[in-house]
Amino acid sequence: MNWSVIFEPAQLQLYAEGLATTLKLLLGSLAVGGVLALAMALALTSRHAWLRRVVGAYTYVIRGTPLLIQVYLIYYGLAQLEWIQARWDEVWPWTWFKEAFFCALLAFALNTAGYTAEIIAGAMRETPPGEIEAARAMGMSPRQVLWRIVLPSALRRSLPAYSNEVVMMLHSTSLASTVPAMLDLTAAASRVYSDFYLPFEAYLFAAAIYLVITFALVGLFRLAERRFLAYLGPRRT
């Protein structure tokens, strides 16, 4: 055991850079994926059967294939197409595909969008009929019922399931280490291991950082659930 090497300034700086990349990937993928998931959830609960089938096929493929394969398909597949490479120096948005960070972020965003869309759509389908009937009795249009009653209620009730998705997404960002030129938290641990041959210390320190972030995320979601799901708790007599 040689923990003194891990706590040297150079190694701590390396871990800090990796942590920054990990957090950027996590927050970026959740933001982009969240917007896509909301649109897809509306499509999954749409009256149009063709729209439900198209988006349902997408979520099925996303949830049925490993995230690592999806990262490879975007970075080693899509980003390496000659048609894209011929345009990635001048034509937007293909210019982004020459950036390893963008390829990883795109893969993570598309992945979390598929899972989150099913979470939100499932919560929308489980909206209590009484809430919808009460809204209609007040004269709300179908669009008003969706945006004022169904969607806000579904987003609140999907918090517990979404918290698991966020934690899983945090852990999944470690797959960015498979992309060349990407220095995330796991890649930083791998570099320390290769430089000093300290596998136990290098990866255990990275695991401790992941654990701290996980505890922080779980705590934040617990506070959010207490705030937004208090009405679902047992009533005090």
Give residue-wise pLDDT tens across range 45-79: 998 999 999 999 999 999 999 999 999 998 888 77
Q: Which domain holds residue 102?
A: 3-232
Query: CB of 3 within 8 A of CB of 204?
Result: no
What is the CATH number for 57?
Answer: 1.10.3720.10
Distance CA 43, CA 205 (A): 43
Q: Name the least confident of 77-86, 184-193, 217-226.
A: 77-86
Angle between helices 49-64 and 100-125 (to 10 degrees): 120
Structural domains of the chain, count = 1
Residue 89 within any structural domain of the chain? yes
Residue 237 within any structural domain of the chain? no
> Identity (one letter) of the amino acid at 176?
A
* Cβ within 8 Å of residue 136, ≥6 positions away: 145
Query: CB of 52 within 8 A of CB of 213?
Result: no
Residue 79 within any structural domain of the chain? yes
Global pTM reads 0.90
Q: Name the least confident of 20-29, 31-40, 90-99.
A: 90-99
Residue 29 within any structural domain of the chain? yes
Q: How is residue 63 written in tokens?
A: 């949830």
Distance CA 172, CA 230 (A): 31
User: Helices (H) and strands (E) in the chain — how many of each?
Assistant: 12, 0
Q: Calculate the CA dihedral of residues 107, 112, 117, 119 and round it to 10 degrees.
A: 160
